[in-house]
Structure 1
């Protein structure tokens, strides 16, 4: 007779593995996750079945965290015009708080992880259009959601390649000023 599933242990392991992967990147093997979370590869396989299932769960958990965090940053605030909200969101996303997610998901195109969640790139783009449209609606410009998202993604790629936070931050601030101009 085998042990009964213990969802609380599985969730604790998933959270620890996600924390480790956000800090160090998604590994190719189980051993870095096992040692980084204080467990064994055997225990991870017991709870998740396969390496790929664990990595899918880690990626999904990290994505849920990112959506909750970044989504909250993009919400309309009664006390702030939306370009100000976007400026605050940029500061967090491009700063230390957003870096773990950008590192993990920024490597997606060249990573074996792409095979784990093949639809990720599309979802990681379209997931942000709704919140941006809603926010931009507050200034009468919901049609600019794709443009704003493209600017954010492009500047994040630039920041990743160059590390030049001052220049990319200034470019985003300059872009936001264009949203404040009358049509």
Structure 2
């Protein structure tokens, strides 16, 4: 009688593989994953079937982590101007906590064949759109979420290609400055609809 696979062990192994891939990139062989998970290549095949199947599951779980991570950053916060939320989100997304995800999925996006994740570029294009729409709705302009997302993605590509963080950060600040009048006007609309007496525009956190 064969052994029964234990889901909790499989889950622990997969988390270890995701941690390793985020820190070091996707390996060409199973041995680095096996060492990271404290197991053997044979057991990886036992639990996941093949190297490519393990790589696909690793990418899928890493992407879910990134969606949760970024989604929380982009969600509107009570009593905080949304442009301030966006600036903090940008700094965290492109900082030490977010860069491993950008590196992993930037390489996947550049893969012309997309063998491990067919259609990834199309699927990943709008997966941050909903929290951005919610945030921009808080200043009365949800239709600008696509523009904000396009700017974020474009500047991330610039940062990954050049590593010039000061220039790219300044470009993002300049973009937020261009949104400030829109946000102020949107706040007036929202406040008027809610019956508030006086508007107040969003400030920018330069810290």
Same fold flag (TM > 0.5): yes
Name the CA distance, whole Å, in 2 between partners of 1:147 and 1:167. 20
Segments of 4+ moved more than 3 angstroms: 109-113
Look up the match of 1:77.
77
- The alignment of Structure 1 onto Structure 2 pairs a total of residues equal to 183
Name the Cα RMSD after superposition. 1.5
8 A contact 2:87–2:173 mirrored in 1: yes
CA shift for structure 1 position 167 = 0.9
- Please give the per-residue CA displacement for 1:51-95, whole angstroms capped at 9, x wherever unaligned: 111111100110010011100000111121111110010000111
CA shift for structure 1 position 37 = 2.8
Name the CA distance, whole Å, in 1 between partners of 2:173 and 2:31. 43
Name the CA distance, whole Å, in 2 between partners of 1:112 and 1:27. 19
Look up the match of 1:99.
99
CA 75–113 in structure 1, closer or farther in 2 if over 3 Å, else same: farther
TM-score normalized with structure 1 length: 0.95
Which piece of structure 1 moves more, 90-99 or 115-124? 115-124
Structure 1: tracts of 5 or more residues without a match:
none
Look up the match of 1:117.
117
Look up the match of 2:89.
89
- Please give the per-residue CA displacement for 1:120-156, whole angstroms capped at 9, x wherever unaligned: 2112111111111111011111111111111111111
- Please give the per-residue CA displacement for 1:37-61, whole angstroms capped at 9, x wherever unaligned: 3221111001111111111110011
Pairing of 1:51-66 with structure 2 (within 5 A): 51-66=51-66
CA 75–110 in structure 1, closer or farther in 2 if over 3 Å, else same: closer
Which piece of structure 1 moves more, 121-130 or 87-96? 121-130
Name the CA distance, whole Å, in 1 between partners of 2:80 and 2:110. 39
CA 39–86 in structure 1, closer or farther in 2 if over 3 Å, else same: same
TM-score normalized with structure 2 length: 0.84
Q: Indicate whether 1:44 and 2:30 are aligned.
A: no
